[in-house]
Amino acid sequence: MKIPVAIALLFLIFAAGFAGCDKLAAREEDLVDPRNDTTDTGSPAIDVEPDPDTATKPSTDTGDAATADTPESSDDTSAQAACGDGAVVVPEECDDGNHVLSDACPDGPEGTCRAATCGDGFVAEGSEACDGNAAPNATCDDACALLCAAGFADCNQAPSDGCEAELASAPEHCSVCGHGCGGAECISGYCQPILMWFGFSEGESTASNSLAINGNYVYYTGSYEDWPAFDPLYSLWTLSRLPKTATDITGTGNSFWSSQSKAWRLRFDDTHAYWLDSVDEVEPPWPGLADARALKHMSTDRTGSAIDFDVKATGVFDFVVDDEHVYWSHPDSKTIVRIDKTTRVHEAFVEGLDGPRTLAQDADYLYYLDWSEADSTVRLWRAAKAGGTAPQLLAETTGLPSSFYLGLDQIIVDEDTLFWLNPRHAQGTGPTGLVAAIVSVPLGGGPIEVVKVFSYIHGAGFDIDDEYVYWSTPEWVDAGRSSGVISRIARDGSGESVVISEATAWSFSGSCSSSVCPHLDWYHGFPSPRGIAVDEQFVYWLDEYSSVLRVAK
């Protein structure tokens, strides 16, 4: 039977299609996982969709072909945990993946991947100073804090070097962290004073009166005649100045003004230094009054020479200077006088007083002490510079029944408080028989608050800054020997006073030539510190031999 041509052609096309499928299957054969090949190799592969059952179930074939390409899986997930891989897997509590052992999650090959705690052996930054590790001059307590050995402190707050500062000798941390000595040594917990000018020389026994800071200089007066060292007002004085950074103990070129008279009570305005100039010597005990001849002034840039600002200063006790006027107290006339700096015209500013003495000022008020011999009372007043109102009584205190030592009161005024060193606070047992007190008084009036009480020696001085009151305590040990300390206390008198610098008993005999004095290694203390002044970093003072020193605050 003959097959029609059309049917033959259809048959050939159909056969060619099967052959193409076989070739395609052959090409895909290498791509098909044998474990998923469920087709009958003897039949044409028409339906190649995977069986749902076999596609979703793991193979049970344990042959090598199966295990070579499939990741191992286990219900025991801890077997895959790696501390530091960034994945938190039981039993890990954390895993930040940064391999840092000092943060909140110590991780990495040596880490724990547990929250940082004291006792884990890692020092947690910001919360622990140590954690069982050894540290220089320290031990680690149960709270992971450093316990410094006696006399040491962790001043740089760096746990790695433990308690690095030895407070008895560290010049940047002398006695307490942060107390630097300004270039001086720290010995036994005290910053050593820096000798700026050595005032003692052969055959001289001198005293000191005034010391003040103006700009970059320390101005001071000193005497060069044999007068008792306890007499701070009378002798032959010279007015000198030194740069605040001076360490030249020969003092070459430090004279500001010199005369065969007595310069004392230093004051300044923007351009000039002012001082009282006295001539006649008055045998002590004195009535709290020097025989002033004139008020002198001189430009602080050292141009020109010293001239008399006013020659009518006989009997003047104290004075202050502002931009327009000079005010001075005159006990004999019981008056405070005001002088116009331009015209030199005098006028009575406050009259009818008992005995005006020490003065101080701020921009708006003049403050003054008035001593009444009748009732042995010292009254503290203030008067408005602009006038128009009666003087205001701020405080009063009953002193000893004598004007002796009235010349040694000191007053300092700041923004809201007046501080007053009163040498006659009470009867004492020391060389002067006096107990002094530094007291504070609110500028608007109010009760006197005692800041510090101490045994008074002639010439003790004081000053203030924003935090503390500083004072000198001269001491006489015995004939030929003297000593003293510089101390400070909080402005409100709270807490204990702190000795900033301390001298051992000092004595001197024999000559002190310019070739010897610069090398005196025993001058680690100072005899009888007197007037003092402070700036941002140092306390400056005069001793009884007119030497000038400074020590870090």
Global pTM?
0.70
pLDDT-based confidence at residue 35 (cuts at 50, 70, 90): very low
Q: Residue 192 and residue 181: Cα distance in Å, rounded?
A: 7
| Contact indicator for 516, 200 with CB cutoff of 8 Å | no
* DSSP codes, 122-164: S--TTT-S-SS--BTTEEE-TTS-EEEPTTEE-TT--GGG-S-
Q: What is the torsional sign of CA 506, 507, 512, 516?
A: negative
Contact 147, 140 (CB under 8 A): yes
Structural contact between residues 237 and 262, judged by C-beta atoms closer than 8 angstroms: yes
Integer angstrom CA distances of residue 178 from 158, 165, 174, 193, 498: 15, 10, 8, 17, 15
Q: What is the mean pLDDT of residues 200-214?
A: 59
The tokens 């230094």 sit on which residue?
273
Contacts of residue 167, Cβ cutoff 8 Å, sequence gap at least 6: 151, 152, 153, 173, 174, 175, 176, 177, 189
Q: Is residue 245 part of a domain?
A: yes
Residue pair 277/296 in contact by the 8 Å Cβ criterion: yes
By the 10 Å C-beta count (0-12 exposed, 13-18 middle, 19+ buried), 402 is classed as middle
Residue 474 in contact with residue 423, Cβ under 8 Å? no
DSSP strand pairing (190-191 vs 194-197): unpaired
Q: Within a domain: residue 358?
A: yes
The total number of residues shown for the chain amounts to 553
CB 98 within 8 A of CB 124: no
Is the confidence at residue 41, as pLDDT, over 80?
no
Residue 482: give its domain's CATH number: 2.120.10.30
Instruction: Give residue for tokens 């001793």.
Output: 543
Which residues are CB-contacts of 421 (< 8 A; sequence separation ≥ 6)? 408, 409, 410, 411, 436, 437, 438, 460, 461, 462, 471
Amino acid 223: pLDDT: 56
Percent of all residues in the chain with a pLDDT value above 70, rounded to a whole number: 66
| Residue 2 included in any domain | no
pLDDT at 433 over 80: no
- Tell me which of 81 and 368 has the higher pLDDT: 368
| Residue 315 located in a structural domain | yes
User: For the chain, what is the domain count?
Assistant: 1
Give the model's pLDDT for residue 506.
44
| Within-domain flag for 470 | yes
For the chain, the straight-line distance linking the first and the last C-alpha, in angstroms and rounded, comes to 132
Which tokens sit at 332? 């004999």
Question: What local confidence, expressed as pLDDT, does residue 334 receive?
Answer: 95
CB-CB neighbours of 551 under 10 Å? 21
Q: What pLDDT sits at residue 197?
A: 81
Q: How many CA atoms lie within 13 A of 493 on its CB side?
A: 13
What are the phi and psi torsion angles at 92 (to 5°)? -65, 145
Of 203, 208, 83, give the one whose Cα is nearest residue 541.
Answer: 208
CB within 8 A of 519, min separation 6: which ones? none
Does position 479 have pLDDT exceeding 70, yes or no? no
Other beta carbons within 10 angstroms of residue 31's beta carbon come to 6
Per-residue pLDDT, averaged over 31-52, amounts to 46
User: Does a structural domain hold residue 77?
Assistant: no
- Asked if 55 and 38 touch (Cβ cutoff 8 Å), the reply is no
- For residues 212 and 191, the answer to whether their CB atoms sit within 8 Å is no
> CA torsion, points 399, 402, 406, 411, in degrees to nearest 10?
10
Among 24-38, 123-137, 387-401, which stretch is predicted with the lowest mean pLDDT? 24-38
| Choice between 490 and 409, residue whose per-residue pLDDT is larger | 490
What is the rounded average pLDDT for all residues in the chain?
Answer: 75
**In angstroms, rounded to a whole number, what is the distance separating the alpha carbons of residues 331 and 93?**
84
**What pLDDT does residue 296 have?**
85
Amino acid at 66: A
What sign has the CA pseudo-torsion 279, 280, 282, 283?
positive
Q: Which residue has the higher pLDDT, 457 or 492?
A: 492
Q: Distance between CA atoms of 548 and 550, rounded to whole angstroms?
A: 7
CA distance 30 to 214: 100
Cα gap 439→493, rounded to integer Å = 9
In-domain check, residue 329: yes
Low-confidence winner among 100-109, 149-158, 277-286 (lowest mean pLDDT)? 277-286
Q: How far, in Å, CA of 399 to CA of 288, rounded?
A: 14
Structural contact between residues 511 and 202, judged by C-beta atoms closer than 8 angstroms:
yes
Residue 470: pLDDT above 90?
yes
Question: Measured at the alpha carbon of residue 274, what is the angle toward residues 198 and 253, in degrees to the nearest 5?
Answer: 35
In a domain, 138, yes or no: no
CB–CB of 285/306 below 8 Å?
Answer: no
For residue 238, the enclosing domain spans 186-552
